[in-house]
């Protein structure tokens, strides 16, 4: 958000200097770059926004960027490799790592590069047309994919990838940088997810108040003349029963200023006795409250420790279930990807094998009660059909056989998604349909829709009504 708002770009251009340095480490989501006598700081927003720095930069890597002396920000975005350059090492047939961006029931989108997304068709993930891709893929999941086509139009497939097939290193986003993706390592669910914490220690304290007996006699000796003044109140100040020096006896002309000393002392002692009794009662109440609070704290500490234990158990269970879900999805995806090869028998004759797939699709998808009224029509394979099928990438042969079954049974004409229409002589709307010398008419039907380079099937309808399969190709290929 800060990057999109331009906060990192809102720096005076006169204060920015282009420098080249070496990454010395990554600390607290900041990369430290050693420059010429200075240290530049690179946050992820100035490298590849939204991507952890460990997937863009690594220690020892040389980078060039714009250094701001005031903030010490070092902007290295200009050093990023263009996506086509970063992906130039990928070749058709390579197994590479991708990250799932989004998943729908019949399609998915994956990141081949943070700036390059590739749509993955349903048939490139599973051979079962009834599968929901959201059951097989998870957004954010890192998984291997096979490159079927490179360049301007990338095509990927998740089918038929062996467990022991090691993916090539993911593309680096900067020259000399780390791969931007690494294969996920299954978590060890046997280890506790949350470290055990020590129980809370409840600190107790006792309040002891030593109250002197009001009737005890205490002799306080005279302090030396040169004795230093005490730093604080003397204990004798709190002893109301200490000895009192006698006053001189008043002369005849002097009248007593008040009641006798014994009466004053008795009243003072009585008052202090009441005060001490009150304080002792308050102390007993405070001790009782202290004991109650201490007992409650002990109970809360025990309950908290129990809750922490339950939390660790629940988090461990969540981790185990998440791991099991990911493993189950992986197994299901692999089983779907290999079902076409394990269920279908092998044929030495390619045409016979393809016809078997068409008939299997008819027997599987047409209910038994409807089969007499929906027979497979007559069809033949043109001389270039099997060759175009072998050269096709990103679409399973089973999928082509399904559409051929719909064409020869007439169901393709009833399906709007097949987009069945005449193959015309040119792109003009009113141009005539292509005709062959023997009177056959050219038709075109969709094998895929809403995908880059969607595949199409071209075929001829002969004068006797039979069908000749001509070729399969991409959307823009109008030849037949």
Listed by start position, the domains of the chain span: 13-79, 83-157, 189-244+257-332, 350-474
CATH architecture of the domain with range 13-79: Beta Barrel (2.40)
- Residue 174 is given by DSSP the state B
User: Hey, do 13-79 and 83-157 end up sharing a CATH topology, with the first three levels equal?
Assistant: yes
Cα 212 to Cα 207: distance, rounded to the nearest angstrom: 16
- A 10 A CB-CB count for 122 gives 22
Closest CA to 475 of 429, 433, 423, 440: 423
Structure tokens given for 300: 């809360």
* Tens digit of each residue's pLDDT (9 = 90 or more) over 321-355: 888 888 887 777 766 655 444 456 788 899 999 99
Residues 6+ apart with CB under 8 A from 90: 96, 147, 150, 168, 171
Structure tokens given for 398: 């089973």
Question: Which positions of the chain have pLDDT values less than 70?
Answer: 1-14, 151-152, 185-266, 334-344, 394, 428-429, 449-453
Phi/psi for 310 (5° steps) reads: -65, -40
- A 10 A CB-CB count for 2 gives 10
- A 10 A CB-CB count for 181 gives 21
Cα 416 to Cα 446: distance, rounded to the nearest angstrom: 10
Say if residue 98 is exposed, middle or buried (CB neighbours under 10 Å; 0-12, 13-18, 19+).
buried
| Residue percentage of the chain with pLDDT more than 90 | 32
* Tens digit of each residue's pLDDT (9 = 90 or more) over 118-142: 999 888 888 788 888 888 888 989 9
Fold of the domain spanning 83-157:
OB fold (Dihydrolipoamide Acetyltransferase, E2P) (2.40.50)
- A 10 A CB-CB count for 416 gives 7
| 34-39 contact pairs (CB < 8 A, 24+) | 35/67, 35/74, 38/67, 38/69, 38/72, 39/72
Structure tokens given for 327: 């493993």
Say if residue 284 is exposed, middle or buried (CB neighbours under 10 Å; 0-12, 13-18, 19+).
exposed
Model pTM greater than 0.75? no
Structure tokens given for 358: 């068409």
pLDDT at 211: 40
* Side-chain-side CA neighbours of residue 467 (13 Å): 19
pLDDT at 2: 67
pLDDT at 343: 57
pLDDT at 179: 95
Fold of the domain spanning 350-474:
YaeB-like fold (3.30.2310)
């Amino acid at each position: 958000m800060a990057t999109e708002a331009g906060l990192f770009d809102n720096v005076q251009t006169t204060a920015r200097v282009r420098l080249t340095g070496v990454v010395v480490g990554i600390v607290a989501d900041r990369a430290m770059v050693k420059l010429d006598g200075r240290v530049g700081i690179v946050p992820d927003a100035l490298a590849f926004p939204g991507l952890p720095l460990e997937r863009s930069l690594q220690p020892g890597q040389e980078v060039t960027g714009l250094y701001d002396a005031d903030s010490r920000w070092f902007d290295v975005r200009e050093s990023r490799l263009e996506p086509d350059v970063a992906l130039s090492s990928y070749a058709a047939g390579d197994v590479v790592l991708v990250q799932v961006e989004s998943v729908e029931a019949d399609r998915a989108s994956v990141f081949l590069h943070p700036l390059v997304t590739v749509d993955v068709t349903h048939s490139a993930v599973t051979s079962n047309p009834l599968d929901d891709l959201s059951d097989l893929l998870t957004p954010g999941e890192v998984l291997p994919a096979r490159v079927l086509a490179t360049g301007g139009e990338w095509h990927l497939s998740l089918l038929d990838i062996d467990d022991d097939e090691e993916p090539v290193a993911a593309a680096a986003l900067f020259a000399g940088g780390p791969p931007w993706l690494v294969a996920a390592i299954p978590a060890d669910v046997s280890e506790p997810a949350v470290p055990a914490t020590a129980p809370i220690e409840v600190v107790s304290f006792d309040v002891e108040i030593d109250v002197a007996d009001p009737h005890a006699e205490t002799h306080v000796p005279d302090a030396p003349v040169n004795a230093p003044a005490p730093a604080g109140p003397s204990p004798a100040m709190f002893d109301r029963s200490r000895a009192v020096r006698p006053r001189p006896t008043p002369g005849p002309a002097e009248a007593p200023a008040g009641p006798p000393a014994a009466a004053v002392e008795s009243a003072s002692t009585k008052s202090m006795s009441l005060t001490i009794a009150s304080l002792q009662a308050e102390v007993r109440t405070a001790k009782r409250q202290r004991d109650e609070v201490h007992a409650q704290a002990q109970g809360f500490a025990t309950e908290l420790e129990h809750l922490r234990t339950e939390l660790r158990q629940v988090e461990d269970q969540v981790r185990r279930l998440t791991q099991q879900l990911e493993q189950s999805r992986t197994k299901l995806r692999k089983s779907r990807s290999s079902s076409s090869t394990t269920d279908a028998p092998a044929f030495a004759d390619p045409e016979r094998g393809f016809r078997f797939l068409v008939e299997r699709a008819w027997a599987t998808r047409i209910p038994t009660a409807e089969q007499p009224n929906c027979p497979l029509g007559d069809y033949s394979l043109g001389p270039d059909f099997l060759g175009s099928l072998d050269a096709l990438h990103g679409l399973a042969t089973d999928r082509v056989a399904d559409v051929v079954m719909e064409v020869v049974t007439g169901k393709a004409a009833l399906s709007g998604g097949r987009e069945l229409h005449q193959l015309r002589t040119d792109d003009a709307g009113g141009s005539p349909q292509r005709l062959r010398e023997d009177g056959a008419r050219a038709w075109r039907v969709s094998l895929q829709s809403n995908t880059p380079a969607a595949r199409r099937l071209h075929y001829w309808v002969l004068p006797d009504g039979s069908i000749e399969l001509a070729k399969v190709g991409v959307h823009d290929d109008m030849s037949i």
